[in-house]
Amino acid sequence: MTIKVMLADDHKIVREGLRKLLEKYPDIQVIAEAEDGRKAMQFCKELLPDVLIMDIAMPGLNGIEATRQIVAENQGIKVIALSMHSDRRFVMEMLKAGALGYLLKDCAFEEMVQAIRSVTRNRTYLSPMLTDTVIKDYVRLFSKNEFSVFSILTPREREVLQLLSEGKTTRQIAIDLKVSVKTVETYRQRIMDKLGIYSIAGLTKYAIREGLTSPEK
Amino acid sequence: MTIKVMLADDHKIVREGLRKLLEKYPDIQVIAEAEDGRKAMQFCKELLPDVLIMDIAMPGLNGIEATRQIVAENQGIKVIALSMHSDRRFVMEMLKAGALGYLLKDCAFEEMVQAIRSVTRNRTYLSPMLTDTVIKDYVRLFSKNEFSVFSILTPREREVLQLLSEGKTTRQIAIDLKVSVKTVETYRQRIMDKLGIYSIAGLTKYAIREGLTSPEK
DNA sequence: CAAGAAATCAGGATTTTCCCGATTGTGTAT
DNA sequence: ATACACAATCGGGAAAATCCTGATTTCTTG
């Protein structure tokens, strides 16, 4: 019984590299690649992978939101986050979103295999660099310190904020999310009211600071 | 004959500190403080300082553009840049804009006094950490490698871009710059066409990368 | 179950943007 | 000296986005 793995990362080269590396393991089979969160959601429903390796920083729909939705919609799927950041907030949010594993991009490749096997057996896996402290931090920070974008905005609002900060127009966002323009307008308004920031430029900077979008491109 | 100095920095505390430090020198007199580039321009015309200590990162009108305009309008005024950045591009642009001195914010205070006296005698002054390499780089980079915002956009366009990336509306920018809304629209359009970036979010990120605005606030 | 949060949409007035075009001044090249 | 590019400035008019004020539905949770 092979483990069906899907890769979600916006860099083609990364996906190809991982695929190549994973090929050597007969019990693991890469069945698909997705270049952003939305594609990942789509493919998940169609292909039912066992494990999803998910990058966090991706255009359109980032890994955290995508994970939240994928885990909600596909019971049994195991998500492993793959990120450059050891930032507590990312780890925490990813785990809250339902990821079972969290790998740092500079980890040894063997770790990934180990992680895949772990989550398949319904166990969690964190990069050693994270484990200890993170688990503690996670619990401790859970209740207080809730001033990040993740506590202020709803998931849908965060999605819209990310899209806005990627330069999408209201109309385009409406199409992407398959809702009406009016709905998107409402979200923007709510986001602005909640954050007290009334310009796209300001929202963009906020999104950059909170890691919802990258300052590049 | 005392040297009349004006301070332009967006942080009140910095201005106050410098003023206090400069007080000890009987040949130097701080006659005014400005909290942004535009105020600096205004005061310069009214108060005719001999030396202007100019921070680079300031809201509204940054130190580089301000210097460019001040030097053009007030012959004889000596501008000394004061910056956290030793980034070549800043130094180069500041010198091209007409500054005679460039101080790093982590320099010893005595350097500032020395710089003030230097420029008063029509000589340049650069923080020792910069001198050598910078002068060479400056000359070398002058002609080629012109792909920064400073070569692509006109001064006016850069001003508008900065204001846009600070969250100002077209209307507000028109008021700030005392031109019509239509003019500002044209600038925005031109900026977008030149950069190939057609969203405020994208422009904001570009401005951040080029140092025209800060990612904070 | 009631209350609140989240997601969704609409109408209509007001602004902004977008896509054309135009004028004026200032250098710079021929 | 004349032409020519470039910078700065402004306008008209159609299209799109915003703002403001609701409103409905679903879901969770005490």
Nearest residue to C11, CA vs C1'?
Answer: A182
pLDDT over threshold 80, residue B211: no
Average pLDDT over residues B176-187: 92
pTM of the model: 0.56
Chain A touched by B202 (CB under 8 Å): yes
- Between CA A200 and C1' C21 the distance (Å) reads 29
Q: Which of A21, A26, A22, A24 is nearest to A1 (CA)?
A: A26
Average model confidence (pLDDT) for chain B?
82
Per-residue pLDDT, A109: 80
* 3-state SS class at B104: strand
The phi and psi torsions of B53 (rounded to 5 degrees) equal: -90, 120
- B6-23 pLDDT, tens digit each: 999 988 888 888 888 888
Say if CB A161 and CB A148 are below 8 A apart.
no
User: For residue A66, what pLDDT is reported?
Assistant: 87
d(CA A145, nearest CA chain B) in Å: 20
Give the span between the Cα atoms of B129 and A4, in whole angstroms: 57
Q: Which residue has the tokens 């101080």?
A: B103
Asked if residue A161 lies in contact with residue A203, where contact means CB atoms within 8 angstroms, the answer is: yes
Query: What would the mean pLDDT of A70-89 be, rounded to a whole number?
Result: 80
Percent composition of chain A: helix, strand, coil (DSSP 3-state, to 5): 55, 15, 30
Query: With an 8 Å Cβ cutoff, is A198 touching chain B?
Result: yes
Look at residue A215 and give its three-state secondary structure. Answer: coil
D23 C1' to A64 CA distance, Å: 31
User: Phi, psi at residue B167, to the nearest 5°?
Assistant: 90, 5
Q: Which of B17, B59, B20, B22 is nearest to B38 (CA)?
A: B59
Q: Is the pLDDT of residue B77 over 50?
A: yes
Cβ-in-10-Å burial (0-12, 13-18, 19+) of B164 comes to buried
Between CA B109 and CA A174 the distance in angstroms is 55
Q: How many CB atoms lie within 10 A of CB A143?
A: 7
Burial of A171: CB neighbours in 10 Å, binned 0-12, 13-18, 19+ = exposed
Q: What backbone torsions phi and psi does residue A190 show, to the nearest 5 degrees? A: -65, -40
Q: Express each pLDDT in B121-152 by its tens digit.
A: 877 787 766 654 444 444 334 333 346 677 78
| Cross-sheet strand order for the sheet of A28-34 | A28-34, A3-8, A51-55, A78-83, A101-104, A125-126
Tell me if B5 sits within 8 A of B22, measured CB to CB: yes
Sign of CA dihedral B142, B144, B147, B152: positive
Crossing angle of helices B181-195 and B170-177, rounded to 10°: 110
In this predicted structure, what is the pLDDT of residue B137?
45
Residues of chain B with Cβ-Cβ distance to A166 below 8 Å are 201
Mutate to test the interface with A, among B161, B166, B172, B199 (most CBs of A within 10 A): B199
Each residue's pLDDT tens digit, B83-115: 877 665 677 677 777 788 888 887 778 888 888
- Buried residues in A109-136 as b, exposed as e (16+ CB within 10 A): eebbbebbbbbbeeebbbbeebeeebee
- Chain A CB within 8 Å of residue B162 CB: no
Q: Cα angle vertex B18, ends B12, B24, to 5°?
A: 140
Give the C-alpha separation, A116 to A80, whole Å: 8
* From A8-22, A88-102, B193-207, the region with the lowest mean pLDDT: A88-102
Chain-chain contact of A208 with B197 (C-beta, under 8 angstroms): no
Q: What is the per-residue pLDDT for A53?
A: 93
Closest B-chain CA to A170? B199
Q: Is A196 on the interface with B (CB under 8 A)?
A: no
Smallest CA–C1' separation from A151, nucleotide: C5
